[in-house]
Amino acid sequence: MTLARPLANKLFPAATALAAALVLAGCTPGTTTSDSSADAGAPVTGGTLVYASGDAEPSCLDPHVGGNYPQALVASQFLETLYTKDASGTLVPWLAEGSTVSDDGLTRTVTIRQGITFTDGTALDAEAVKANFEHLLDPATASSTGYLALGKIASMQAVDASTLELSLKTPDNSLLESFSMPWVAIESPTALKRTQAENCAAPVGTGPFKVESWKKQDSVSLVRNADYVNPDPAAAHAGPAYLDGITWRFIPEAATRIAALQAGEVQVIDNAQPDAIAAAAKNATIKHLDAPRPGASNRIELNSSKAPFNDAKVREAFIHAVNINASIDSLFFGTAPRSYSPLSSAEPLAYSDKSLFSHDPAKAGELLDNAGWKERDADGYRVKDGTRLSLAFPVSTSQSIPAEQSIFEQMQATAKESGIEIKINLLDLSSWYGQLATNDYNLVSAPYTKVGPSVLSILFHSDSTIPAPSGYFANLSQVKNPDLDALLDAAGATKDEAERKDLYTQAQKLVLEGHYLLPLYDQQNHFLYSEKLKNVGATSAVATPLFFDTWLAN
């Protein structure tokens, strides 16, 4: 299934978008609401939107550096991409006018839209895009998401002002999908020549807003780009944004965020908790936007590179030992349908197999007995050769909401019944990354957002056990399977859509049947907002809200 993601400048009625989201989320009518363009009234110019984010404050506002979702959320307001998705979920040009690919798939030619300038006055042209790609691929930038997305580019040439020619190491049918992501957004080449610290503080883009200031550990101030040129020549709203600006606040406590929304101190909050979403359904003054992210599902990965999960029987036993469905039902109030796929339900090529994920303690016990974990110690945990069956589970408090952390605690309890110990370690984001880098984990929940099924290559290809320049590697289950590599390579190169689907389906079956991961649900992307905020519903290709067409009612 595909969740429609309208362009910021080509809105279809938001109620239609959210109705689609409602169906995908399995919510009851009224849980997800919005205003359609027709119901919102005449646009009002002026006012400052206050947005409260519960995600970790970025250490750099430039999404080229590192490349995480909190960066994408704020950067989507002031940076734009070569491609995006329209209301039907179709990939369409944005800062690009179009592109072609050679018969052998090794040369991609991109036509860059003319007549657009960055907010520092620099013109958008092929050389500007080339400078961005070079910035992303430069190890000194320390990119992860963008670097991996462009990894097949071998060289590039600006043929003229509007033509960029890319030479590829191997064919890459996901390149345009990668071009739609904020982590590959286009920044002013003039600004990129500054120090990284300067560019991190205030990246320069072509978007409807621009960075005015950043007060660390508090907020980012965005102001309207008065000279904004809409890349869509057919857009109904062609001028600058209606809002004067956006104050992007960082409020990590969920209770504080919802209280600020209820008090009218902020107009939008993200990372809304399930109980707050349920309460909002009964409150006419608070609306709900549900926008599941594309790419991977939210999942727990099992580190197959070391004991005990280097034994497939132990991986399978763990999956049958935990009762995920009961936890989701009790903690998420119907806002997070269970996933049985490596991919988000927003991805049309997602493949599911529910039969592999039953809660079956008897089967778990049989598998553990067969794997040699027959004895139990005084605390009831299984032991083998004097070693307890214990699993290290570092959890990022910045990326796992409290309800999800409660799922992990319930998982810990049900696993104990089968004799499996789970040691949950709650960590800040930096410490969490450090524990992954030293391979000090058996279980990990690591969201990864990317447009298209090629995210499977980033997550499960053996090449992805090699860290990106940022130090992050994405294959956290540490799968090294030549058959899987071959399927993923072929799926990423073919020009035949039917063959692409078949190859990605085979690859997903291999991952699921290898018991390398425990799918949970789509990456949760819930936003609550005030009824005073009108024309809400447009999102980027990676499901970040866009506020170009939004206004504050008087």
Q: What is the DSSP string of 290-310?
A: E---SSBPEEEEE-TTSTTTT
Position 335 pLDDT exceeds 60: yes
Q: Tokens 């000194």 appear where?
A: 140
Summarised one tens digit per residue, pLDDT across range 455-480 is 999 999 999 988 888 888 899 999 99
Amino acid residing at 74: V
Summarised one tens digit per residue, pLDDT across range 378-392 is 999 999 999 999 999
What integer pLDDT is reported at residue 469 of this predicted model? Answer: 85
Query: DSSP assignment of 19-62, as one string?
Result: HHHHHHHTPPTTSSB---TTTT-S-----EEEEEE-SPPPS-S-
Amino acid residing at 389: L
Position 24 pLDDT exceeds 50: no
Domains in the chain with CATH codes: 14-291+525-552 (3.40.190.10), 298-521 (3.10.105.10)
For 361-428, the three-class secondary structure string (H helix, E strand, C coil) is HHHHHHHHHHCCCCEECCCCCEEECCEECEEEEEEECCCCCHHHHHHHHHHHHHHHHCCCEEEEEEEC
Position 215 pLDDT exceeds 50: yes
Q: What angle do CA 55, 301, 254 make, to 5 degrees?
A: 20
Residue 153 — φ and ψ, nearest 5°?
Answer: -80, 125
**Mean pLDDT value across the chain:** 92
Residue range 205-234: mean pLDDT, rounded: 96
The helix (run of H) or strand (run of E) holding residue 520 is strand 517-521
Position 302 pLDDT exceeds 60: yes
Position 38 pLDDT exceeds 80: no
In the chain, % of residues over pLDDT 70: 93
What integer pLDDT is reported at residue 30 of this predicted model? Answer: 28
What integer pLDDT is reported at residue 479 of this predicted model? Answer: 97
**Structural contact between residues 338 and 328, judged by C-beta atoms closer than 8 angstroms:** yes
Position 151 pLDDT exceeds 80: yes
Q: What angle do CA 172, 175, 181 make, to 5 degrees?
A: 150
Q: What angle do CA 352, 30, 324 make, to 5 degrees?
A: 35
Q: What is d(CA 53, CA 56) in angstroms, rounded to the nearest whole number?
A: 8
Q: Give 368's contacts (C-beta < 8 A, 6+ positions apart).
A: 313, 314, 317, 374, 382, 389, 418, 419, 420
Q: Tokens 């992805």 appear where?
A: 464
What integer pLDDT is reported at residue 39 of this predicted model? Answer: 63
Q: What is d(CA 414, CA 365) in angstroms, rounded to the nearest whole number?
A: 13
Residue range 254-263: mean pLDDT, rounded: 96
The more confident residue out of 289 and 447 is 289
Q: What is d(CA 30, CA 14) in angstroms, rounded to the nearest whole number?
A: 14
Residue range 49-78: mean pLDDT, rounded: 96
- Token output for 468: 């990106």
Q: What angle do CA 328, 330, 333 make, to 5 degrees?
A: 80
Residue range 114-136: mean pLDDT, rounded: 98
Rg (CA), the chain: 23
Summarised one tens digit per residue, pLDDT across range 184-194 is 999 999 999 99
Query: Which SS3 state, helix, strand or coil, does residue 123 take?
Result: strand
Q: What angle do CA 114, 172, 147 make, to 5 degrees?
A: 75
- pLDDT band at 429; cut points 50, 70, 90: confident
